Amino acid sequence: MSIISKITKIAWRLLMTIIMVIVLAIVATSFSTIYDFAPPTPFAGNDIFNPYAEFDPNVAWKRTSLHTHTRVEGPLNECDFTASETVDKYRDFGYDIVGISNHNEITPHPDQTLDIGIYEHGYNLRNFHKLVIGTERVNHFDALYPLSASQAQHQLDMLDDECEVLQLNHPSRSTLLDSACLTKIGGYNIMELSGINAYLENMHWDWALSAGHYSYALLNDDLHYPDRTTKFAVRCSYLGAEEITREEIIATLKSGCFYSVRIPDYGNGDWNVKREKNQTLPTIENIGIQGDTIYLKLSHTPEQIRVIGENHTLLKRVVASDTISYCMRACDPYARIVASYPDSLIIMTNAFARYDKATMTSPADRTFHTKNSLATALYNIAVVIVIAILLTLYIKIIRRWRTK
- What confidence category does residue 202 fall into, taking pLDDT thresholds of 50, 70 and 90? confident
Residue 329 covered by a domain: no
Total structural domains in the chain? Answer: 2
User: What are the angstrom distances between the C-alpha of 365 and each of 197, 357, 402?
Assistant: 30, 10, 59
Both 65 and 24 in a single domain?
no
Both 274 and 388 in a single domain?
no
Give pLDDT, residue 107.
94
Give pLDDT, residue 210.
98
If DSSP codes are grouped into helix, strand and coil, which group holds residue 402?
Answer: helix
- Mean pLDDT across 355-365: 95
Residue 89 covered by a domain: yes
- Mean pLDDT across 213-237: 95
User: What are the angstrom distances between the C-alpha of 21 and each of 30, 141, 235, 387?
Assistant: 14, 17, 39, 11
DSSP state of 105: B
Q: Which residues, listed in sequence order, are joined to residue 286 by a DSSP beta bridge? A: 297
Per-residue pLDDT of 148-191, as tens digits, reads 999 999 999 999 999 999 999 999 999 999 999 999 999 999 99
What DSSP string describes 215-233? Answer: -EEE----BS-TT-TTTSS
Both 148 and 202 in a single domain?
yes
Residue 314 covered by a domain: no
Give pLDDT, residue 113.
85
Per-residue pLDDT of 3-19, as tens digits, reads 888 788 788 888 988 99
**Domain span holding position 13:** 3-34+372-402
**Could you tell me the strand order of the sheet in which 216-218 lies?**
118-121, 130-133, 165-168, 190-192, 216-218
Both 358 and 392 in a single domain?
no
Residue 268 burial class via C-beta count within 10 angstroms: exposed 0-12, middle 13-18, buried 19 and up: exposed
Per-residue pLDDT of 35-61, as tens digits, reads 999 999 999 999 999 999 999 999 999
Give pLDDT, residue 1.
59
If DSSP codes are grouped into helix, strand and coil, which group holds residue 60?
Answer: coil
CA distance 49 to 230: 36
Residue 196 covered by a domain: yes
- What confidence category does residue 197 fall into, taking pLDDT thresholds of 50, 70 and 90? low
How many CB atoms lie under 10 A from the CB of residue 95?
Answer: 19
Strand 346-348 relative to strand 258-262: parallel, antiparallel, unpaired?
Answer: antiparallel
pTM above 0.85, yes or no: yes
Q: Is the pLDDT of residue 238 over 90?
A: yes
CA distance 94 to 249: 17
Q: Are 342 and 350 in contact (CB under 8 A)?
A: no
Both 86 and 28 in a single domain?
no
Q: Indicate which CATH number applies to the domain containing 150.
A: 3.20.20
What mean pLDDT is reported for the chain? Answer: 94
If DSSP codes are grouped into helix, strand and coil, which group holds residue 262?
Answer: strand
Supply φ then ψ for residue 244, to 5 degrees: -95, 80
